[in-house]
Structure formats: C-alpha cells, structure tokens
Structure 1
C-alpha cells in the first residue's frame, strides 16, 4: 500500500513516547463480535470499553497505533465542544443540548481517569487550559464562554490582561479565561497506553493491516485486508477520522481534513521556563486561524497552527510557526527548533462530531474539530456502550445521514486561500 501520509517518526512524540505493545499484522482469518477500523483514540477507547464489557473486539490499523492525528496532535486535553453550552441548548433543546454539554464537559476527566486507572506510562499534567483573547471580539467571546461554564459549576475563571500575561509569559493577549479541567499529555504515549490497556482487557489489535474491502452478507460483516486475511463480525465501528479515504462511499467528502503543523524547541533552561507558561497550563487562542502552545514533559515549547493542505516538502513549511515563537515570546527569539511535524484534523461543516449508520451494524465516527484527545476517547466509550446495550441514549448525538460537502473538491482551494488571508490579517502574527 502506498504511504500517502507524512511519516510519524519526525515528531517529538515518536521520539519520546513509551514503546508500543506488540500488535502483529493479521495473518489468519478470524471472527469477532465487533470489528474496529482505526487505531486512534476513538477506536482504541471503543476496543477497551467493549472488552471490559465482555464483548470480543478485533481492531485493525493500517499502519501503527496512533499513526494519524492521535499520535500527531499537540497533546492538549481540552474539555467541551467547539460550540458553547448555551449554543448546544439552542441547537438541540434543553434536554439533549444539556446532555451534550455535560458529555463534552467530562471528556478531559475521562482521559486523566483512564491514565490513572490503567497505570499508563504517559507523561501528563493537569494544570488547566488557558484561552487567550487576541482582539476585543475575542475577549467578549472568552468572557461569555467562561460565564456559561461557571453557571454549570465548572472550575473556570476569567483572566484580565495582567493575569493572562503572567500565566502565559507574553503580553500579546487582552485577557481570556482559565479552565482547570484541561491539561496536557504525551499524545502518542496515551494512544499506546490505550492499546496496552485494551489488549490486557481481552481485545485483539493488529497493526500493519490495511482494510481493503467492507461487505455485508447474511447478516454479518466481512472485512478484507491487504494481506488476504479476513475478519467476520456482527458489528463494525469505522473510526478513521481525518484519514478516512476510500473506506465508505463519500465519507471523506463530509469533512475538511486540514493539516495542523507543529514545532518544538530545544528544552528550555530553568530561567527560560520561569518566563514561559510557568504554571504548566496548555493554551490556545481565539484567532480564526488559532495558535496553540504548551511545554512538554521535558520543558520544550511546542507551537502549533495551520499549514498547507499538502504534505510538507521542507522546513520552510513550518517557518511561520518559528516566527510566531519569537513574536509571542521575545525572550525565546532565535531559539533552536528540534522537531517539526504535522497531522490531519477532521473538521465538519457544523463543527460537531458526526455519527453515521449507513448500513445495519455499521457505525461511523468522524470529526474531531481539533479536540480529539478527550472528545474521541469519550466517543469511543459511548460507541462501546451503544454496541453492547443497543441503547441509543448511550450516544451523545444521534446518527445522521452521510451528507458530502457541496463541491468538496473546491473546499481545499477555498480553505487554503482563507488560511493565507487569516495568516496575514488575524491579529498581527
């Protein structure tokens, strides 16, 4: 199979994660209660929670655990969805919208609970998430968001310009808010930790096993693989998110799979660390083309943001982020960059995760909106509960029909132009 995606190995996470468990390619045809396609957070969480319920899952991953966005993201565990609680209530009504807000608000709890419960070898810190406001409009948005979560009892508080400057170590934000539920993890290590926990619970996981066909006959599903072995199962969970190419008709046309680029500096000195995120929070801002940054467990500063749709051709594709490091943190101007990498973020038209049931026994999960660590872990648990019990209320959202974006092929050109425009005009960075 041609490798269409930028390899995982250049990333900081591949260099610092605990080793992956043994998950050999599938070489013998097998049967299972549930077949799962995709070895990212959603698929691994579903496998773990299904196995804990006594359901026999077999998970197939084309490359390696966490090869997609789960092993390439910034490791920021941010609770909630892209839509604020009041907006969810307006969209879905008080009962469904309230439950959806509660679901989103608990996603970070689930991640840190799983790390602790399974004793995962995953560097992590839960000091909170800070959202900085880059404009007066962004400040109003941040203040409203904090107020909505505070009304629901969440441990949040607004930050004025002085407070956010002290917390972040930069004077480029007008204010913002702090959500103490958030934090940071080693994201590839977490994916591998989920895999190890799922295996221990009784799940079967096979990497290096691309699924090449997905057919239903006589009430069961049959998955063909590149190596010739098959999996026959009653149910299938398709959890490939931003890497959903050719697995189900037109599924990939329902999302924009934008690349998110990141750089990591050398480890900061003790003196430098006193001036950059001294409290250990993770952060992203209110720009349309948002920036996100944090320190890793070894004291490197990570800076992330959007880049070109195509896979990178060289270091120049990360140059805009290297400039941002010096602009946000002048004390680090000219600091050496040790790692550059990227991964795909699956964005839906309504900025909500989507569940689809295009055929009996097939459940599709797609759309992380850049909050995949907590969101997709929780989606995996919810899908497992639904498959095991048949209770539709176990799902945070009802399944919807697959609706491709109109003129999907043109969206990449359009979004690329928007990215360029925002980069020139979105807050001076």
Structure 2
C-alpha cells in the first residue's frame, strides 16, 4: 500500500509498532545466490526460509520494511483463499486441488508458528474469524462454506443472527459462520519481526534501495538500483505486489491496484469493549464491497472498506467508513477517530495468487486478495523451497503466463462502474 500524498498522522500500525531492526541502504555492489525484491511478508518470508537453508540471500526494499500492504492491512490472519473447497477442487482437480486446500488451510498456522518460534514482539490473538452475512442468499452461502470446510476437518461452524450479534456486538447481520483457525496481529510489528528473524538467520537486508532494472546476462541476473550499486544473483524472487510498477514488462497491467481505506477510533472504554468482540474474534462480511473490522491490541475499533480509486485528498475521503462504523456499532457514537490511512492492493483477474516465471531464474509472486498475511507468509516458504530445490510441486499454484487485464488504460472507469453496481446490489448497512 502507498502513503497518501498529503500530510496525515501516521497509520495506526506505524504509531504502535515495535521498533524495526537496523537496516541500511545498499552502499556497494554485491553478489548473492538469490536476490529478493520487496520487504513485505512474501519477500521477508522467502529471505528467512532461504537463509535457514544456508542460501546466500540479499533482499532489497525500495522504502522501509513493511511500507506497503504488509504494514497497512487490517491485521486479520484468515486462512483459505477466495474460493471455497469444492470450487478449488473443481478448478485444480483432486490431486493439486487437495494440495492447494492443505496449503490454504495452514496459512494462519504459518504466521502464529513463526511468531512463537522467533519470539517476535507482535501483539496477536487467535480466537477465530466471523464472516457476517448481509442478506439471505449470503447467509445460505456462508452456512454452505462452513459445511464444506468442516468436511475437510476444519473447526468451522454456522452461526445464527443472535450468535453473530453477541460475538461481534452488532445486530446488522442475519448470521454467518466462524473459522476458529483465524486471528489477528499487529501487521507492521509482524513484518518487522520477520525482518529481524531473516537477519538473524543470515539474510542481508537493504532498505531505501529501489530496484530500477533487471537484466539477465550469461545466466546471471543483475539488478540495478536508484542508488547506483547493483546486485548480481543466480536467481531473483520478485515480491512487490502492487508496487512492482514497470520493473518487469506486462506485470503492472496484470492486476488492478485498487485503494482500500481504514479508520480507527480512540481506545474504547471498558464498558464498550465488554460488548464489542467480547471473545476476541475478527470479522469481514459477505458484501462484494466488503467491510472488515476488529479491535486492536489497545482496544481501538478498526474498520476498513472501499475508498476512491484515486489518492485521498483529505479526511472527507474516510467519512463514509466513519458513518458506517456508527451505523454498525451505534454504541460507539461520539468516540473520536484517531487514525485514517489507506493504500493499494493487487487484485488479479481470477482472484487467485499468481506465480510467474517469465524468464529462467526469475520468479514473480503477485496477488493477495485480502488474505495476504497468512497467504504470503506461506508463499514465501513455498517459493524458498522451489528456488532451493527446483521442485515445482513445492508451489501451491502452477506457474502461469502474465496476462494483462483487457482495456487496462480504462481500469479506473470500469472499476468505478463495478463499485457503483456493487454498492447498489450490496444494499445499505
């Protein structure tokens, strides 16, 4: 995600995160077995798992660790993908589909296991995710979704309206389902924890070092940087998500770089906190323009959702979320909003994570679809295994060609049209 171009207070996560480990810009040209581009969850996880294998790895980040989506998301750790188990099996067949289900189902485990194993300074909770249903059709879908995951051994349960109201603190949903594998983290602290773990394992991390070009000569990759020095490596793993820009031809038009907005209140009183997420769940709903909300580790109520495709121009661009929050939770009316932030996310054509290998030795990972914390942590581990061993079965999804969105230059127009349509079909809060 990207910092807004006008003065704002820091994001909630930047204001409350653990200190980052010390890193420096690249000062002199270097060599590595593997170069990782991007200091978010995917890049850091890849660097960590490669370094633990004894691979000489250098990571270059254009800004600071977790500057993009890894430091600006809602902090919800939700396993699975956008598609339900039956759909994934139909899309990929029984063998690969089952492998993908196991991978997707374990993504939350990967996050919480790393936090524990490396004793990371990351506030976290793991009491489950509730998906609230906003209309009768969505309620049927939610209950079917719970049943599908339950058939695969997951502790997933359907919920009625009263159950959802009690566990969330709002009566605006008709019911839903709960996935007890899920939880929440302080997302920027987690990115910084991954960076510290990667450094301790022997990876070399350089921040404030934008990569400006990639070139393959005589079987080696050379990455030029805006600072002047370059890195030569046998392999490159590119993990820039919505921020790859023009670094590789055709990559930017293969995603929609939509904007997502979030607000957070001041810490709630003990009285209010007793009735809002009393058991520590996190929530997102079944709307096409979904809403997602939770309490943070200091008792603030956080809500995220749609925003203008353009960059924000002022606090008014968050006003719709503030209104929605009070409609969803009228008990917080009058509580001041302390934080407003936003950024870019990468949406692929099929709402799946994509892995590309456009040239030998260059692996590109792109697309989170709202599940990036666990997904990209696990993807980094899988990519590290693939790069180290060459075993394509280590990858959860098959390598695919880079395919652009049609009429990419008009994306703002058709995204706005889709948003308008979804707003009408989703109904009011």
- Shorter-chain-normalised TM-score: which range? over 0.9
Partner of 1:6: 4
Q: 1:333 aligned to 2:333? A: yes
Paired positions, count: 427
TM-score by length of 1: 0.98
Within 5 Å, give how 1:199-238 maps onto structure 2: 199-238=199-238
Within 5 Å, give how 1:167-186 maps onto structure 2: 167-186=167-186
Contact 1:107–1:377 at 8 Å: present in 2 too? yes
Q: 1:312 aligned to 2:312? A: yes
Deviation at 1:242, TM superposition (A): 1.2
Partner of 1:145: 145
Partner Cα separation in structure 1 for residue 161 and residue 189 of structure 2: 35
Partner Cα separation in structure 1 for residue 33 and residue 235 of structure 2: 7
Partner of 2:19: 19
Deviation at 1:352, TM superposition (A): 0.5
Partner of 1:191: 191
Partner of 2:42: 42
Deviation at 1:420, TM superposition (A): 3.2
Contact 2:352–2:369 at 8 Å: present in 1 too? yes
Partner Cα separation in structure 1 for residue 217 and residue 335 of structure 2: 59
Partner Cα separation in structure 2 for residue 426 and residue 158 of structure 1: 21
Contact 1:346–1:370 at 8 Å: present in 2 too? no
**What secondary structure, in the 3-state scheme, does the structure 2 residue paired with 1:147 have?**
helix
Contact 2:9–2:339 at 8 Å: present in 1 too? no
Deviation at 1:50, TM superposition (A): 0.2
* Structure 1, 355-364 or 328-337: larger mean CA deviation: 328-337
Q: Runs of at least 4 residues of structure 1 off by over 4 A? A: none
Provide Cα deviations, 1:155-183, integer angstroms capped at 9, x if missing partner. 11110111111001111000000100000
TM-score by length of 2: 0.98
Partner of 1:415: 415
Partner Cα separation in structure 1 for residue 273 and residue 420 of structure 2: 32
**What secondary structure, in the 3-state scheme, does the structure 1 residue paired with 2:165 have?**
helix
Partner Cα separation in structure 1 for residue 110 and residue 265 of structure 2: 30
Partner Cα separation in structure 2 for residue 261 and residue 420 of structure 1: 17
Mark the runs of 5 or more structure 2 residues left unpaired by the alignment. Answer: none
Deviation at 1:425, TM superposition (A): 4.5
Partner of 1:160: 160
* Structure 1, 327-336 or 43-52: larger mean CA deviation: 327-336
Q: 1:80 aligned to 2:80? A: yes
Partner Cα separation in structure 1 for residue 63 and residue 81 of structure 2: 29
Partner Cα separation in structure 2 for residue 6 and residue 383 of structure 1: 31
Deviation at 1:417, TM superposition (A): 2.5
Partner of 1:289: 289
Deviation at 1:422, TM superposition (A): 2.8
Provide Cα deviations, 1:65-108, integer angstroms capped at 9, x if missing partner. 00110000000000000011110000010111111111100000
* Structure 1, 344-353 or 39-48: larger mean CA deviation: 344-353
**What secondary structure, in the 3-state scheme, does the structure 1 residue paired with 2:384 have?**
helix
Partner Cα separation in structure 2 for residue 6 and residue 246 of structure 1: 20
Deviation at 1:271, TM superposition (A): 0.3
Provide Cα deviations, 1:37-74, integer angstroms capped at 9, x if missing partner. 00000000000000000111100000000011000000
Partner Cα separation in structure 1 for residue 36 and residue 9 of structure 2: 25
Contact 2:2–2:344 at 8 Å: present in 1 too? no
Q: Is the alpha carbon distance of 1:213 and 1:9 closer, same or farther for their aligned partners in structure 2, counting shifts above 3 Å?
A: farther
Contact 1:242–1:346 at 8 Å: present in 2 too? yes
Partner Cα separation in structure 1 for residue 40 and residue 235 of structure 2: 18
Mark the runs of 5 or more structure 1 residues left unpaired by the alignment. Answer: none
Partner Cα separation in structure 2 for residue 35 and residue 29 of structure 1: 12
Partner of 2:51: 51
**What secondary structure, in the 3-state scheme, does the structure 2 residue paired with 1:140 have?**
helix
**What secondary structure, in the 3-state scheme, does the structure 1 residue paired with 2:213 have?**
strand
Contact 2:161–2:173 at 8 Å: present in 1 too? yes
Q: 1:344 aligned to 2:344? A: yes
Contact 2:3–2:342 at 8 Å: present in 1 too? no
Q: CA RMSD in A?
A: 1.2
Deviation at 1:23, TM superposition (A): 1.0
